[in-house]
Amino acid sequence: MKKLFKIGLIFSLLISFNSLIAHDLKGAVESDDRSSKYIVRDNERNPLETLSFFGLESDMVIVELSPGGGWYTEILANFIHYPGTLIAAHFSADSDRAYYKRSRSNFEEKMASNSMYGRVEIVDLDSQLSDPGTVDAVLTFRNLHNWLGPTMDSIFSNTHKALKPGGIFGIVEHRAKPGTSMDMMRKSGYVTEAHAIEIAQKHGFELVAKSEINANPKDLKDYPKGVWTLPPNLRLKDTDKEKYLEIGESDRMTLLFRKSIES
């Protein structure tokens, strides 16, 4: 009996030790499970610094809004472990748009391709995201320009409802020059900090902090194809390619909001 107890104790300690390693954010960023084509962009996207700024913990319930191909999902899936859950709010599975359906299908295939995605749930972006008051953090990376208008209001409203009191809302977005018009924001893909903050506060969020982690002073924000002129898109292809590669990826705001404790 004592021998069995010792074996059980050792097994429990090993599980606990392995869990500590698995829950380390730096380890998740440096994981071999990540796609090599994504890793090369770490210097531009600063995932360790960005996620650390948002104050994430491995046992949180986290929603990633519009994860695209899963650049951040790979890191978050490695980081989140029981009892934490990662909820990926992707394009609607019933969308009439072929691109949306194809993107959702590709993402679902990716989630089924590796056991590290075992703590990932997929929901529709236009859904309520989760039961009210059950989420610790909601994150979105370079998506606000796609939502300008009623869509942004709806997503921010659903985000606020899904979060627990005191829950956090982290935003990274291409940053427009102050005073940029709504029409130009739509065309260029850059959004002003003032607009992002205004909509967040409209839906009950408090601005906690800003960070320049993802700032790029080389970005002049005045290009023929908007933000998509810069890497990784390089919409102009070989035209002035070296110039745009030298500029690098866009200048980005990094904002941390919180749902009031009293909400």
Neighbours of 184 (CB within 10 A): 16
Q: Which residue segment(s) compose the domain that 35 sits in? A: 2-259
Structurally, how many domains does the chain consist of?
Answer: 1
For range 102-123, the mean pLDDT: 96
**Single-letter residue type at 87:** I
pLDDT at residue 162, as a whole number: 98
Structure tokens at 240: 């002035």
Using one digit for the tens of pLDDT, what is the confidence trace for 159-176? 999 999 999 999 999 999
For range 179-203, the mean pLDDT: 98
- Strand ranges across the sheet with 120-124: 120-124, 85-90, 61-65, 135-141, 163-174, 252-259, 205-211
Nearest to 212 by CA among 242, 176, 247, 175: 175
pLDDT at residue 7, as a whole number: 42
3-state secondary structure of 198: helix
pLDDT at residue 262, as a whole number: 83
Q: How far apart are CA 234 and CA 53, in angstroms?
A: 29
CATH of the domain at 214: 3.40.50.150
3-state secondary structure of 213: coil
* pLDDT of residue 13 exceeding 70: no
pLDDT at residue 192, as a whole number: 98
Least confident of 91-95, 108-112, 132-136: 91-95
3-state secondary structure of 117: helix
